[in-house]
Amino acid sequence: MNDTMLTISQDELGGPEVLKPVTVPVPEPGLGEILIRVRAAGVNPIDTYNREAGVLVGEPPFVLGWDVSGTVEAVGAGVTLYGAGDELFGMLPFPHGHGAFAQYVVAPTRAFVPKPESLTHVQAAALPLAGLTAWQALVETARIGKDSRVLINGAAGGVGHLAVQIAKAHGAHVVAVASARSADFVRSLGADDVIDYTTADFTQTVRDLDTVLEAVGGDFPVRALDCLKPGGILVTTMPHTLADGLPEAARRGVRVAGLFVEADRIGMSALAELAATGRLVPTVDATYPLEQAGAAQAARTGRGKTVLTVA
């Protein structure tokens, strides 16, 4: 192993051009930590928000990225769960554990789980942040189950395409909101009904839902209240969009929840089990080498996820 490694860092906020390759010492794992040689790192919209405004991570310099799939290089004191050579995937603690856009990362041992053999490192790196978001929203917050009626807005996107599969794995009836060109894609994931948002308003199309998962923002959370039955729940990945709808939600007897994803080995284990049995397959729309992290963030992902490959 080399003493130094490549990272993609930034020392100012701004567009993709602020991302620069920087060589730094390889970190050493501390108590309860593992050193992972990164094989692939997932790209998420939150990376762009932080690159531009540092909304959750503060002022630069910093290295972004939370999704990691790779191989254990070394373990710190007290670690018994994994050893050198183990293939793992997981999410660095969100939001302050960022640093996945690098050749090596140090991470808490129990934020990671064994990578299913059915997934490549690229596929595995597409799963943690978006998959945990969908899992924590649908399974832990909304507590969906058999025959739950669930609407997923942004169903072809990073969170959405995984949410469709997770909901179906739990026996839910899934209504997917997506563009016409993505209709066949979301149906292939298991969606029972598809609403083309370019020609139809889902708030005028469906009623009496148990759960709405909203990952688009804007005025969608407030409008989605019309679709829920009393006792139903709206979960959004953009908590700041909820304020205007809280009084109306209370009047209607509808619950609302704004979710920020958390690193969680239990959730990661559940995702790994679904992936190992073929019930959860992440779609990778594009891959870029680590050195092209700026181009990867600038690209518009139509379906699924974008992933960085690390040499």
Which residue from 299, 221, 304, 310 is spatially nearest to 47, judged by alpha carbons? 299
CA distance 228 to 78: 48
pLDDT computed for residue 231 by the predictor: 96
The token pair that represents 29 in the structure block: 């794992």
Cβ distance 239 to 133 under 8 Å?
no
Which residue from 158, 159, 201, 152 is spatially nearest to 177, judged by alpha carbons? 152
What HEC string does the chain produce?
CCCEEEEEEECCCCCHHHCEEEEEECCCCCCCEEEEEEEEEEECHHHHHHHHHCCCCCCCCEECCCEEEEEEEEECCCCCCCCCCCEEEEECCCCCCCCCCECEEEEEHHHEEECCCCCCHHHHHCCHHHHHHHHHHHHHHCCCCCCCEEEEECCCCHHHHHHHHHHHHCCCEEEEEECHHHHHHHHHCCCCEEEECCCCCHHHCCCCEEEEEECCCCCHHHHHHHHEEEEEEEEECCHHHCHHHHHHHHHHCCEEEECCCCCCHHHHHHHHHHHHCCCCCCCEEEEEEHHHHHHHHHCCCCCCEEEEECC
Taking the chain (311 residues) in runs of 10, the rounded mean pLDDT of each run is 94 97 98 98 96 95 98 98 98 97 98 98 98 98 96 95 98 96 97 95 92 86 90 92 86 94 96 98 97 93 91 89
| Residues 6 or more apart whose Cβ sits within 8 Å of residue 7 | 21, 22, 23, 24, 63, 99, 101, 102, 103
Amino acid (one-letter) located at 249: A
pLDDT computed for residue 239 by the predictor: 87
pLDDT computed for residue 1 by the predictor: 77
pLDDT computed for residue 220 by the predictor: 82
All domains of the chain in start order, with CATH: 4-127+283-309 (3.90.180.10), 130-258 (3.40.50.720)
